[in-house]
Amino acid sequence: QFLRSEKYISDYNEVVSLGTRNSQTRTADQTEVGIFWGYDGAPKLGVPPRLYNQVVRVIAIKKNNTLQQNAQLFAFVNYAMADAGISAWETKYYYELWRPILGVRQGSPTTRAIPNWLPLGAPADGGGDNFTPPFPSYVSGHSTFGSAAFEMLRLFYGTDQFQFQFQSDEYNGATKDSITGRVRPNRTRSYERFSQAEEENFLSRIYLGVHWRIDQEEARIQCISIDTNLLRTQAKNLIDAYESKPTDAILFWNAVLLNAAANDYDNSIADSPDQAGPTTTSRAFAIIHGAMYEAMNGFERIYISMYRPSSMPATYDVPRAPAVEAAITEAAYQTLYALYPKQRELFTQTRNNFIKLVRGDSSDNAGINKGILVGKLLALTILESRSSDNSQNQGTYKLINQTGYHQPDPTHPDQPFLSPRWGTVTPFVIQSGSQFRASNTVGNTLAGRRQFLRSEKYISDYNEVVSLGTRNSQTRTADQTEVGIFWGY
């Protein structure tokens, strides 16, 4: 039903027009957009949660946030992305919609088959040929993580209007393009609104030819529900303003985390990442920033804790600033140490150096020691609470060998299936992975899927991805290509 719908036909035409590798309709700017937002697990780039933390970091620094505001913002963004990932993967493996690489090659009752069609593809960045990600299309992981982050920024600051610039690691003057074999130049893109960057991130997956438009549209709707739910739960805890701005341990440890997430995809450090893929990475980011948030609140008592042990006293008779920094540092260290074990030596050295700096600025060693104990206790409490969240129970995946259902990328037939049971992981804030499941537009039965493949929506999405996502698309602009790669990760 969906594959016969006007929506599918529209999406098909769009992706054929803009996502074909050598598209004649994708502009240079569209090609740049596609690559700019890539971050598809390439060496030293990692995956989307790292990308959006980089964006949030730029905003937080320009906004001149307080330590407390950063503790809350980064915790809420990463809680939202972690729950969005759980919800998205529940939807992905519930509907199992095929990617353009299959939909275009095999065709449908209402769309022509292009047997050897190639998308521009997710940027491999010197790690092999560009590829299609190894999990179903509907809904988009990139749009889910990205919309969760941008919607939280809008809710947190109370506005969509904000001017900022961002440089993607896909265009940092060091990352090599797998198709051209050349190092990409430095590129910084400018935005007037959070929604403008969100829209580019949305479109980038069409320009790369790895998603239908409907995947992005439904992901955005899903994330508005998730973020609103999170803030409704925590609304009484929102931070407005503070009298002082202490040294910002949150931004320091966020930088350590971003570096760790990039190193996690460095083959010279390890054969396989400690946190493989955007799902496990989003969980790790949420745990680490959640621990720092709880550590800050252990002394500040600004909000009702989600993880505070009953054994912790209500107040501490110590100066807050050095104790808070020490608590945040220890919470970050303990969670990083547990979640990225291959980099433990670096974390230990960094932690010891930072604690020395804290001690050097204060004569209150007792307060600092108390902060270390509080940070460790809260970190271990969160790690213990997440140890049985079903994230390790991903099992096996049984293919549905039918038209319109997800299959491995035929140009990378040995791809594994990433996190097929991630939708069963215990969320951080929402009730379950299925609470905000995307709409049944694509059909979750054979009859429903056939109807979708005949729809105008599918045909439109198909044409769009072929036009803009084909590897050598003649319609995708250079800017669209840059955007696609820019947001890769």
User: For residue 469, what are the contacts with CB-CB under 8 A and spacing of at least 6?
Assistant: 15, 16, 18, 19, 20, 23, 26, 34, 100, 119, 120, 206, 207, 208, 209, 210, 476
At 180-212, the pLDDT tens digits run 899 999 999 999 999 999 999 999 999 999 999
CA angle (80 as vertex; 346, 279 as ends), nearest 5: 60
Does an H or E element contain 477, and which?
A: strand 471-477
Is residue 250 pLDDT above 50, yes or no?
yes
The sign of the CA dihedral 30, 36, 41, 44 is: positive
Concatenating the DSSP letter of every residue in 186-235 gives EEEEEEEEHHHHHHHHHHHHHHTTS--HHHHHHHHHHHHHHHHHHHHHHG
At 131-163, the pLDDT tens digits run 999 999 999 999 999 999 999 999 899 899 999
Angle between helices 320-339 and 365-386 (to 10 degrees): 40
User: For residue 265, what are the contacts with CB-CB under 8 A and spacing of at least 6?
Assistant: 41, 42, 43, 44, 45, 46, 47, 273
Q: Spell out the alpha helix ranges (H) of 237-364.
A: 249-263, 277-300, 320-339, 344-360
Give the span between the Cα atoms of 489 and 477, in whole angstroms: 21
**Local confidence band at 268 (pLDDT 50, 70, 90 cut-offs):** low
Give the span between the Cα atoms of 192 and 354, in whole angstroms: 36
In a domain, 346, yes or no: no
Average pLDDT of span 15-40: 96
Give the lowest-confidence range in 104-118, 262-276, 397-411: 262-276
Q: Using a cut of 0.75, tell me whether the model's pTM lies above it.
A: no
Contact 194, 119 (CB under 8 A): no
In a domain, 463, yes or no: yes
Q: Which domain range does residue 460 map to?
A: 2-251+398-488
DSSP for residue 180: T
Give the span between the Cα atoms of 156 and 299, in whole angstroms: 22
In a domain, 461, yes or no: yes
Is residue 364 pLDDT above 80, yes or no?
no
For residue 431, the one-letter residue type is: Q
At 219-245, the pLDDT tens digits run 988 888 877 777 656 544 444 333 333
**Local confidence band at 10 (pLDDT 50, 70, 90 cut-offs):** very high
Note the pLDDT of residue 317.
52
Residue 187 phi/psi, 5-degree rounding, is -140, 130
Note the pLDDT of residue 246.
37
Total tally of structural domains belonging to the chain = 1
Contact 27, 474 (CB under 8 A): no
Average pLDDT of span 297-307: 72
Closest CA to 416 of 276, 283, 267, 215: 276
* CATH code, domain carrying 232: 1.10.606.10
In a domain, 415, yes or no: yes
Give the span between the Cα atoms of 119 and 161, in whole angstroms: 34
User: For residue 94, what are the contacts with CB-CB under 8 A and spacing of at least 6?
Assistant: 423, 434, 437, 444
In a domain, 126, yes or no: yes
At 309-325, the pLDDT tens digits run 666 655 555 556 788 99
Residue 273 phi/psi, 5-degree rounding, is -70, 150
In a domain, 304, yes or no: no
Share of the chain above pLDDT 90, in %: 61
* Longest Cα–Cα distance in the chain: 75
Average pLDDT of span 464-470: 92
In a domain, 278, yes or no: no
Average pLDDT of the chain, as a whole number: 88
For β-strands 161-172 and 186-193, DSSP reports them as antiparallel
In a domain, 131, yes or no: yes
Closest CA to 466 of 8, 96, 36: 8
For 284, how many CA atoms within 13 A lie in the half-sphere containing its CB?
30
Burial profile 71-84: b = 16 or more Cβ within 10 angstroms, e = fewer: bbbbbbbbbbbbbb
